[in-house]
């Protein structure tokens, strides 16, 4: 079964990847069930953003709080590999938790879609959809 992703979320990911040519960009994938409605860019607070990423903890906490209040759920994360491939790096593998969340890994115009599975990352199929449900969802917190 394919994970559905709105065309708007895909456009945001491509734009972020092109913006982050020298540093890793990162953010959250928000939605409901198996539908990613929005990609929310967040600050990369890692001390070496050219080679690593760390989501702004305040943004992550705010997104989980908004989800508890009826907003979109945190379905996963995205980050870029400015000089790498659109697949999990050794460091990504080491940080994996097996929580089932989706990771979108950006490399130039390419987006690799992965699920953080208990036995390591598994590539997932995606289906682009128009944002029909996203308009009715409560807004996500800003990063």
Q: Indicate which residues carry an active-site annotation.
A: 24
Q: For residue 98, which of 121, 75, 74 has the smallest C-alpha distance?
A: 121
How far apart, in whole angstroms, are the C-alpha atoms of residue 82 and residue 101? 22
Contacts of 85 (CB under 8 A, 6+ apart): 105, 107, 112
Angle at 49 between CA 8 and CA 104, to 5 degrees: 35
Query: Which residue has tokens 């289906």?
Result: 127
The residues, any chain, with a CB within 8 Å of residue 69's CB and separated by 6 or more, are 138
């Amino acid at each position: 079964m394919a994970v559905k992703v709105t065309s708007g979320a895909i456009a945001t990911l491509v734009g972020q990847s092109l913006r982050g040519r020298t540093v890793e960009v990162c953010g959250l994938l928000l939605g409901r069930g198996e539908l990613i409605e929005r990609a929310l860019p967040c600050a990369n607070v890692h001390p070496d953003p050219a080679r690593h990423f760390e989501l702004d903890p305040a943004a992550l906490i705010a997104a989980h709080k908004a989800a508890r209040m009826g907003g979109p759920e945190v379905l996963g994360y995205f980050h870029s590999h400015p000089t790498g491939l659109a697949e999990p790096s050794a460091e990504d593998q080491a940080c994996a938790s097996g929580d089932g969340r989706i990771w979108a890994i950006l490399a130039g115009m390419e987006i690799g879609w992965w699920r953080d599975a208990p036995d390591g990352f598994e590539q997932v199929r995606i289906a682009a959809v128009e944002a029909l449900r996203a308009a009715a969802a409560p807004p996500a917190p800003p990063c």
